[in-house]
């Protein structure tokens, strides 16, 4: 038997419906914030990720799926979303549009060769968004607050934002020198990867999992202490806007992010959930004002955010958030002979085109087996087509909840289902105190 590759998963059944529901909620929220959906290729030129994400990041050096195509070109399966979105922004000359800033979001599979664990896969789905074309601190606050609001709407509660600033080029350079000065005397205490990072990108040392608990890491200089006046003022503005928006945050100098392209604001969103584990970060992002120019576009500021969908779904599960999943159909159509089967094919199509969830029998079951299948599908109504009744333009319909049966005109099936399904849903909501109908208010 052929099995799925390690670090991948099949998505189907109820779990797939939960994913679809969360995706729809995200789509609706992004529409409210005026972000437009974008999809970029699942593979791109390897150079895009080496130049965009950074030569010294673990994603590029250890985790990418690289291959040479039949034309001899070096290609890479998409490991993250920002670089591809930026490439599309440049290639399609979106910077020429008048409606600035450009606000884009995506929900796409990514590929990283890393050790699979709970909520982390080698084929992962990532939701993210980019606000391109504004360097205003208000844009930073919006990107952060949007992530928080998505989580709140989905049902997560104890949400906290950890923010930091890497500052502008001058600030970052000063900090880089301070890190090198701090780590050089202890270079033999560092892991092999960090020894290489010391000159290439010392900020990456702070993100090391191998050396994380060592004293030299705990006493390392903090980015905040090396911000110039302009960067400090900018960071203060970001915090002011977050406070105005009611976003709870904490300044955490240890937040540096693992990608080379960040400057100024960087942040992580964490959620406190019992049993979720010590690693409770469910999304992160930051500002990347230089990437677009480095990839061949005009000098353009930008900021973005991303979260692994698997990680988000795991958080919702641990939080015991009730995600509504429709496990029923509106109507199940049964028949006995071939003429009734043809009419079932016609009526099924008509009702589906009018917005109803309708199923019929495709296995030539007996009526008894057909009724069992209707029960398994949690069908709200059942119709057994009868040739004699059809000659009179009538059908017998059964309400599977009340067990009541009625004979109605074929011409009124749509109206009958529409009225009765709406009534049943209202009745169920009234029982759960989730209805705003007049009877419930009285």
Burial tier of 332 (Cβ tally within 10 Å: 0-12, 13-18, 19+): buried
C-alpha neighbours within 13 Å on the C-beta side of residue 270: 17
Strands 36-37 and 102-111: parallel
Q: What is the pTM of this model?
A: 0.86
Burial tier of 189 (Cβ tally within 10 Å: 0-12, 13-18, 19+): middle
Torsional sign, CA 185, 189, 190, 195: positive
Which CATH architecture group holds 331-426?
A: 3-Layer(aba) Sandwich (3.40)
Residue 100, classed as helix, strand or coil, is: coil
- pLDDT by residue for the chain (442 residues), tens only, comes to 999 999 999 999 999 999 999 999 999 999 999 999 999 999 999 999 887 676 556 566 678 899 999 999 999 999 999 999 999 999 999 999 888 899 999 999 999 998 877 767 899 999 999 999 999 999 999 999 999 999 999 999 999 999 999 999 888 888 888 888 888 888 777 787 777 777 777 777 777 777 777 878 888 888 888 899 999 999 999 999 999 999 999 999 888 765 567 889 999 999 988 877 666 889 999 999 999 999 999 999 999 999 999 999 999 999 999 999 988 999 999 999 999 999 999 999 999 999 999 999 999 899 999 999 999 999 999 999 999 999 999 999 999 999 999 999 999 999 999 999 876 665 555 555 554 554 444 4
Q: Facing residues of 333 across strands?
A: 360, 383
Sheet holding 43-45, edge to edge: 43-45, 74-77, 66-68
How many whole angstroms separate alpha carbon 13 and alpha carbon 316?
18
Specify the CATH number of the domain 13-168+228-318.
Answer: 3.30.930.10
- Among residues 162, 139, 169, 178, the alpha carbon closest in space to that of 231 is found at 169
Structure tokens, 83? 């670089």
Where in the chain is CATH 3.40.50.800? 331-426
Where in the chain is CATH 3.30.930.10? 13-168+228-318
Residue 250, classed as helix, strand or coil, is: strand
């Amino acid at each position: 038997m052929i099995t799925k590759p390690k670090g991948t998963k099949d998505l189907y059944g109820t779990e797939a419906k939960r994913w679809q529901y969360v995706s729809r909620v995200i789509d609706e929220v992004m529409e409210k914030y005026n972000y437009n959906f974008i999809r970029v290729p699942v593979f791109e030129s390897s150079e895009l990720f080496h130049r965009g994400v950074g030569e010294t990041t673990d994603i590029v050096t250890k985790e990418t799926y690289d291959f040479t195509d039949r034309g001899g070109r070096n290609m890479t399966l998409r490991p993250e979303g920002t670089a591809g979105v930026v490439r599309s922004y440049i290639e399609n000359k979106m910077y020429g549009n008048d409606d600035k800033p450009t606000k884009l979001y995506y929900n796409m599979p990514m590929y990283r060769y890393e050790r699979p664990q709970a909520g982390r896969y080698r084929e992962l789905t990532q939701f993210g968004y980019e606000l391109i074309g504004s360097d205003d601190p208000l844009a930073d606050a919006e990107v952060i607050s949007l992530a928080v609001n998505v989580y709140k709407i989905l049902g997560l509660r104890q949400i906290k934002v950890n923010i930091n600033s890497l500052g502008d080029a001058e600030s970052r350079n000063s900090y880089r020198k301070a890190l090198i000065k701090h780590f050089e005397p202890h270079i033999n205490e560092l892991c092999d990867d960090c020894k290489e990072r010391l000159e290439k990108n010392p900020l990456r040392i702070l993100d090391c999992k191998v050396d994380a608990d060592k004293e030299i890491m705990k006493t390392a200089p903090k980015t905040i202490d090396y911000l110039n006046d302009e960067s400090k003022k900018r960071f203060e503005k970001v915090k002011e806007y977050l406070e105005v928006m009611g976003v709870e945050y904490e300044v955490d100098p240890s937040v540096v992010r693992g990608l080379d392209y960040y400057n100024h604001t960087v942040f992580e969103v964490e959620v406190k959930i019992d049993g979720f584990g010590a690693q409770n970060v469910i999304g992160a992002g930051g500002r990347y004002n230089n990437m677009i120019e480095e990839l061949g576009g005009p000098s353009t500021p930008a900021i973005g955010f991303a979260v692994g969908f698997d990680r988000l779904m795991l958080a919702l599960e641990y939080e015991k958030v009730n995600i509504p999943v429709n496990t029923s159909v509106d109507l199940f159509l049964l028949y006995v002979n071939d003429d009734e089967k043809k009419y079932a094919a016609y009526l099924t199509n008509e009702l589906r085109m009018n917005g109803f969830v309708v199923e019929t029998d495709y296995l030539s079951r007996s009526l008894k087996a057909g009724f069992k299948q209707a029960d398994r599908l949690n069908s709200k109504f059942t119709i057994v087509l009868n040739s004699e009744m059809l000659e009179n333009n009538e059908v017998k319909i059964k309400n599977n909840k009340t067990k009541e049966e009625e004979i109605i005109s074929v011409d009124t099936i749509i109206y009958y289902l529409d009225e009765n399904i709406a009534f049943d849903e209202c009745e169920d909501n009234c029982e759960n105190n989730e209805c705003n109908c007049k009877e419930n208010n009285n």
